[in-house]
Each structure stands twice: as C-alpha cells, then as structure tokens.
A and B are shown apart, each in its own frame.
Chain A
Amino acid sequence: MLAGVTEPPMREPTFFVLAALLRGPLHGYAIMKRAEELSDGRVKLATGTLYTALDRLTAEGHVELVSEENVGGRVRRTYGLTEGGSAALRAEAVRMAEAARLVIGPARATKTGPLAWKLKTT
C-alpha cells in the first residue's frame, strides 16, 4: 500500500457500526438496533452483513472484543471501539462534514462532533 494515499470513503454500514459503538461497547444485536436508530431506520444491518463488517473491523484494529458472557447457553460477545476506530470514525465524519460544507455552506458540524450532521437533519 502506498504511504500518503488517503483511505477510500467508509461504506455506510461500516460507518454506522462504528458510530453505534461511540457510547460504549455493545453486542451484535444491540449494534444492529443502535445503527438503525442512529440512521433513522435507514441502515438496517442484516446479521450476515454485521458479522462480515465486525470481522473486517476487528482485523483492521478498529473494533475489539471487550467481553464474552453466556446468555441462555449461548456465547454473547461484546465489541467496543478502539482508539484507531475512534480516529477513523472521526476522520470520516470530518470528511463528510467538509463535503457537506461544499453544498450547505459553513456549518458548525465539525465543532459539534461526528453526529452533528445527523442532529441537523432531525
């Protein structure tokens, strides 16, 4: 991989998986629910998509396994954001805010945090 080349834009499901973990670690189904909430029901992750994304994000070091517990005889794993994951999410939010500014004009999006654009639309 070439140094200095910027990362390609994050895909929307990936973005919302990371955003779902902003407030703290969650388990699989909770991530799906939270991503749906945050996107006003637009991003409905299917189970297969969620675990494909989690596998990739874990391999990239953006997400980590936080705890494992046994619920009703079944293992339930909780995932959390790593520092690298937070940084990637923030970078993506800044990128989107800059792109938005091109169209909507100067906004306070970058000052109020990564989810500001979402708050603006609701």
Chain B
Amino acid sequence: MSESGHSDADRLERRARWLLRAYPAAYRADRGEEITGTLLEATPPGRDWPPRREAASLVAAGLAARRAASLRQGLAASLRQTAVVGAAVYLVQLPALGLGAVVWAARRGHLPFLFGFYEWLFYALGGLALVLLAAAWSGRRGLAAVTAAAAVTAAVSFTVIRQEWDLMVVLADFIGPPAVVFLAFARRAQRPPASLLWLPGLALGAAAAASFAGSYPALFAATTARTTLLSPYVTVFSLVTLLVAVCWLATDVRPLAGLVLAFTASRVVYGFAYGRPLATVTPAVIALGITASLAFACALVWLLRRRTHACPTATS
C-alpha cells in the first residue's frame, strides 16, 4: 500500500470515529468498533471522507439512539437530571460574575483591587462553586455536601470577623439555591450525561465572552435593577446558549428545561434578595412564562415518547 493510501485510510478512520460521537457513549463502547469497521468497508477505497449519505445516516441514527437512551431511563430520572442541569447553569453565574469583575478591573488598571482580602474570599467561593458543580454532576453528594459546608464556613467566618454581610449575600443568592437542588436531586446512578456539560460550559463561556466584549458579565443580568424578562438574553452570547438548547430539542428536552429552570429561579431569587420580589416582571408574566414552558415541555415529552417505538434500543 502506498504512503498516501495509508494516510487516507487513517484520516478516514479518524473521521468515522468522530462521526460516531453522535451515539451515546455507552452505545459507542458496545458497538463503536463494529460500526466503524462496517463504515470503512462501505466506503470506496481512496476516499478520506465517508460518503455524505453514510455520514448523514450515522448522525441521524446516533441522535435517535441518544433520544431512545434518554427516554428509556424514565421520567423521574429525567426530571432529576433537568434539576441538576438547571442548578449547574444557575451556579456558573458566580464564577462568571467573578471573571467579569476581574476583566473589568484589569481593563481600568485597578489591578491592586484584585488582590484584596475580600476578593480572595470571593475567588475561593467561585472555585468552591466549580468544585460543587463537578461533585454534583458526577453524583458525589458527600463531596458536594463538604464543598457546600466549606462555602458556608467561609462566608460565616467572614461575616463574624469583618461584620460585613457581602459574602453571606453571595452565599444565599448564588451558592445556596443550587447547592440545595444538588443535595436533593443528584444521584450517582442517574447523573446527567457528560454531553450535557456543554450547557453550563456554554453559559460560562457566553458570560466570559460578554465580559471580554465589554458588556457587564451578568449571565442573567441579575444585579441590575432595570431588567425585563428577556433582557438577559439580549446579549448575543447568551442567545447562543438559548439557541443551542432549542436545537437540542431534536433529541432531548433537558437542556432547554434546565435553562428555563435556572432563568426563572434567578429572577425569583434576585427579586427576593433585593427586597423587590418580582418587581421588574409582573407575577402574571412569570406565571404565564412558567406555565407555557411546562406545557411546552410536556408536549415535547409526549411527542418524543410516541416516537420511541421507532427508535433503536441499544443492546447492552
């Protein structure tokens, strides 16, 4: 076999494996090698890309297998995972805010302000938030409880020593609600798939991009008084998160449901935290929004359930 022929085959195999990522990881572990082999046999020699028809069918079959896998686990597990995904998106507000503040200060040359006592504690809380997220996502509730306890200890000791309430507010607004959700709903056996990690990741990335682009980094614009229901998503970057969640509806309701959950929770918590419960949005609008999204989610679950009969079941 010639040199170029060999590298073509290697490239083709690499691309075939890349396409196979459309399948759920468990399925891939079981059938991945076999399907790769068949795909390589079905590809005419000398090509370094699978034929377009093959690629499309592989991606479609992979997404169908994902849909079947997420429906097979039942409603209770799906709801638990949605709660964990939503809480994770909510939680990344804190590191996003911290990052935004650092970028804001650095741009204005206020570097010394970044290394004060309060700032270090703030960074520590942001780091703890990420550890908490990792612990909850992998279903380690013990580690999540320890991390949450460390955050509480830090905030309480700061309050006692400095007689200032700032960190308690951070704790109550940003870490408390998701920590409670994690401790209640995270399960090792029913942890969300790693592929859903993109949602908090994208939310964090969107906030980071927004802060580098110069706008205030609040993911949900929770810290500004004059916000409306949609204003947080007016920034293009957050719209990207929303758009991806909507596209993901093709196989999975959980990302969008989690996003709606995080958004609603942040509005409610912000309202109470600033003494103006739901002041910026009338309760009627919130109630309507929640009802509409629930109805939408239920309709989708029903629709997807009907289609499971046509879906493959992974052999285990």
Stretch among B56-64, B211-219, B271-279 lining the A interface: B56-64
Once the chains are docked, how many angstroms separate the CA of A44 from the CA of B57? Answer: 12
Number of A-B contacts (CB under 8 A): 68
- Chain A at the B interface: mostly helix, strand, loop or mixed? helix
B313 CB–A CB distance under 8 Å:
yes
How many B residues are at the interface, by size bracket? 20 to 34
Once the chains are docked, how many angstroms separate the CA of A29 from the CA of B314? Answer: 19
Known: A29-B41, A29-B42. A48 touches B36 (CB 8 A): no
CB closest residue in chain B, given A57 = B312
Known: A55-B314, A58-B315. A48 touches B37 (CB 8 A): no
In the bound complex, residues from chain B placing their C-beta under 8 Å from that of A71 are 37
Binding site for B on A (CB under 8 A): 27-29, 32, 44, 46-52, 55-56, 58-59, 71, 74-77
In the bound complex, residues from chain B placing their C-beta under 8 Å from that of A52 are 61, 64-65, 312
In the bound complex, residues from chain A placing their C-beta under 8 Å from that of B312 are 51-52, 55-56, 59
Contact indicator A49/B42 (Cβ below 8 Å): no
In the bound complex, residues from chain B placing their C-beta under 8 Å from that of A32 are 38, 42
Once the chains are docked, how many angstroms separate the CA of A29 from the CA of B34? Answer: 10
In the assembled complex, 29 residue pairs joining A and B whose CB atoms fall closer than 8 Å, in A order, are A28-B34, A32-B38, A32-B42, A44-B53, A46-B54, A46-B56, A46-B57, A46-B58, A47-B35, A47-B38, A47-B42, A48-B56, A48-B57, A48-B60, A48-B61, A49-B61, A50-B38, A52-B61, A52-B65, A52-B312, A55-B65, A56-B312, A58-B315, A59-B312, A59-B315, A74-B33, A74-B34, A75-B34, A77-B34
